[in-house]
Structure 1
Amino acid sequence: MDKVSHITLEPAVTPKSASSSHNLCITFYEDRNFGGRSYDCSSDCSDLSSYLSHCYSCRVHSGCFMLYDRPNYMGNQYFVKRGEYPDCMSMGMSDWFRSCRMIPMVNSLTVMRIYERENFGGQMMKMMDGSLPLMTDDCDSFMDRYRWSNCMSCHAMDGHWLMYEQPHYRGRMRYFWPGEYRSFDGMKFMSMRRIMDSWY
């Protein structure tokens, strides 16, 4: 997987933290296969090196998180949900986990407008029935469904989303929360899916 340097693709407002009642928790370990010292995290962490000398594995006890291979939520992004991740290298990382962002649970409809060009230009994606200029479901290929070669801007209106560079949810990914994204800093996306409450 190619390395991406200093790309955040964030709107002006960061995602609101989930209520503590959700008890979202992830444990990071210094070594592979959950060895070495550990650090329990239940919120955003901009620099894991403040707690561990390095971090090569993790367990997600509950919730969903985005992991980054650079501090301050920069670089390549990796989505994790409840489960065990014994080796970050098997996830396609070329380095260890450097920062972590908690993804809050959203008990609402997921709604997204996506555009063919930057700055909300070109065609806007519509639902398959054509009833509304909105997207509320997953799309495993923009090309197959809409004959688009890529997506270059979006407006996440509700919910939390993952976009992927390749069809069928493959390749590098990016996390989007409610806000306007006028450009993706040169990246282009070919598929997208919702982050579901059932994953928590």
Structure 2
Amino acid sequence: MKVTFYEDRNFQGRSYDCMSDCADFSSYMSRCHSCRVHSGCWMMYDQPNYMGNQYFFRRGEYADYMSMFGMSNCIRSCRMIPMHRGSYRMRIYERENFMGQMYEMADDCDSIMDRYRMPHCQSCHVMDGHWLMYEQPHYRGRMWYFRPGEYRSFSNMGGMRFMSMRRIMDSWY
């Protein structure tokens, strides 16, 4: 997996090739305004140490990603998303600490309100696969990347309440 970052729009200026997670670009370049994802899927963050807003990038060219995604800050860190082959399973919970209504999912859901009559999701347990969760129905608004693990509370994520989610499929690589 590889992504090349460029200081300026349209793949101009100094560049930096990245083949794994990078917590802070500042030692490689002062800014980043375009990138080429040669292979793999990546989460990009507008703050160092995988903090701030998250953006999903897959193979392709992003000559001016800030305009494309409506970003106000440029990318400061990135995380490679490992390819997953196999089943996808996640339990979502209405409240923190795995409380309230619980539903087990194995496929994409464009609206938990429409499918489950659940107004929002505030904790989850990802058993299999890698997922993107969105703050609004129909995969809109801010997104967050979830890998296998237990997520007891979303309050440390800026109070996000997720309303749709989709699997990161191997066909995206």
Q: Normalization by structure 1: what TM-score? A: 0.83
In the other structure, the counterpart of 1:198 is: 171
Q: Aligned letter for 1:58?
A: C
Q: Provide Cα deviations, 1:73-125, integer angstroms capped at 9, x if missing partner.
A: 00000000011111232212111100000000112211100001111011001
Q: Which runs of 4+ in 1 moved over 6 A?
A: none
The 5-angstrom pairing of residues 36-55 of structure 1 reads: 36-55=13-32
In the other structure, the counterpart of 1:8 is: none
Deviation at 1:35, TM superposition (A): 0.9
Question: Are residue 188 (structure 1) and residue 161 (structure 2) matched?
Answer: yes
> Helix, strand or coil for the counterpart of 1:198?
helix
Instruction: Choose between structure 1 and 2: higher strand proportion.
Output: 2
Contact 1:112 1:156 in 2 (8 A): yes
In the other structure, the counterpart of 1:100 is: 78
Q: Aligned letter for 2:4?
A: T
Give 1:153's match in structure 2, choosing from 123, 126, 134.
123
In the other structure, the counterpart of 1:67 is: 44
In the other structure, the counterpart of 1:20 is: none
**Percent identical across equivalent pairs?**
76
Aligned length: 169
Contact 1:119 1:183 in 2 (8 A): yes
Q: Provide Cα deviations, 1:135-161, integer angstroms capped at 9, x if missing partner.
A: 110000011111111110000001100
Task: State the superposition RMSD in angstroms.
Answer: 0.8
Unaligned runs of 5+ in 1: 1-23, 126-133
Contact 1:27 1:58 in 2 (8 A): yes
Unaligned runs of 5+ in 2: none
In the other structure, the counterpart of 2:102 is: 124
CA distance in 2, matches of 1:46, 1:85: 20
> Helix, strand or coil for the counterpart of 2:32?
coil
CA distance in 2, matches of 1:45, 1:169: 26
Contact 1:88 1:97 in 2 (8 A): no
Q: Provide Cα deviations, 1:28-70, integer angstroms capped at 9, x if missing partner.
A: 0000111111111110000011111110111111100000000
